[in-house]
Amino acid sequence: MITAVKGTRDILPGEVEQWQLVEETARALCDRYGYLEVRTPVIEREELFAKGTGETTDIVQKEMYAFTDKGGERVTLRPEATPSMVRAYVEHNLEQALPFAKLYSMGPMFRYERPQKGRYRQFHQLDVEVFGLDDPAVDAEVIDLAWALVAALGIPEAELVLNSVGCAKCRPRFQTALLAALGEDVAKLCADCQRRATTNPLRLYDCKVPADQPIIDALPHAVDYLCDDCRAHFDGVRSHLDRWGVPWRISHRLVRGLDYYTRTTFEVLGQTLGAQNALLGGGRYDGLVRALGGPDRTGIGFAAGLERLVLALPDERRAVRPPRAFVVAMGDEARDDGLALLRALRAAGLAAEMELQARGLKAQMKRADRVDARATLIIGSDELARGEVTLRDMRSGEQRAVPRAEAIAEARVLLQPSETE
Q: Which stretch binds ligand HAM (CB under 6 A): 299-307, 340-348, 358-366, 384-392?
A: 299-307
Please give the Cα distance from 377 to 399 (Å, whole number).
9
Sketch the per residue contact string, 116 through 155, with ligand HAM: x for CB under 6 A, - otherwise. Answer: --xxx--x-x-x-x--------------------------
One residue of 78, 102, 111, 374 binding ligand HAM per CB under 6 A: 111
Residue 78 binds ligand HAM (CB under 6 A): no
Residue 335 binds ligand HAM (CB under 6 A): no
Beta-ladder partners of 161: 249, 267
Q: Nearest Cα to 226, choosing from 169, 176, 182, 180?
A: 169
Find the length of the chain.
Answer: 421
> 309 or 328, CB closer to ligand HAM?
309
- β-strand 299-305 against 122-131: which pairing, if any? antiparallel
Q: Which stretch binds ligand HAM (CB under 6 A): 74-82, 154-162, 212-220, 395-403?
A: 74-82
Q: Which residues contact 29 (CB under 8 A, 6 or more apart)?
A: 145, 148, 149, 152
> 174 or 285, CB closer to ligand HAM?
285
Q: How far is the CB of 281 from ligand HAM (least distance, A)?
A: 4
H-type helices in 282-388, by residue range?
Answer: 288-291, 306-312, 332-347, 361-370, 381-386
One residue of 136, 166, 201, 282 binding ligand HAM per CB under 6 A: 282
Q: How far is the CB of 392 from ligand HAM (least distance, A)?
A: 45
Q: Which residues contact 274 (CB under 8 A, 6 or more apart)?
A: 116, 117, 118
State the number of CA atoms in the 13 A half-sphere of 168 facing the CB.
5
One residue of 38, 140, 207, 279 binding ligand HAM per CB under 6 A: 279
Torsion of CA 277, 87, 198, 186, to 10 degrees: -10
Q: Which stretch binds ligand HAM (CB under 6 A): 44-52, 75-83, 194-202, 228-236?
A: 75-83
Site residues, ligand HAM (CB under 6 A): 80-82, 111, 113, 118-120, 123, 125, 127, 129, 258, 278-283, 285, 301-305, 307-308
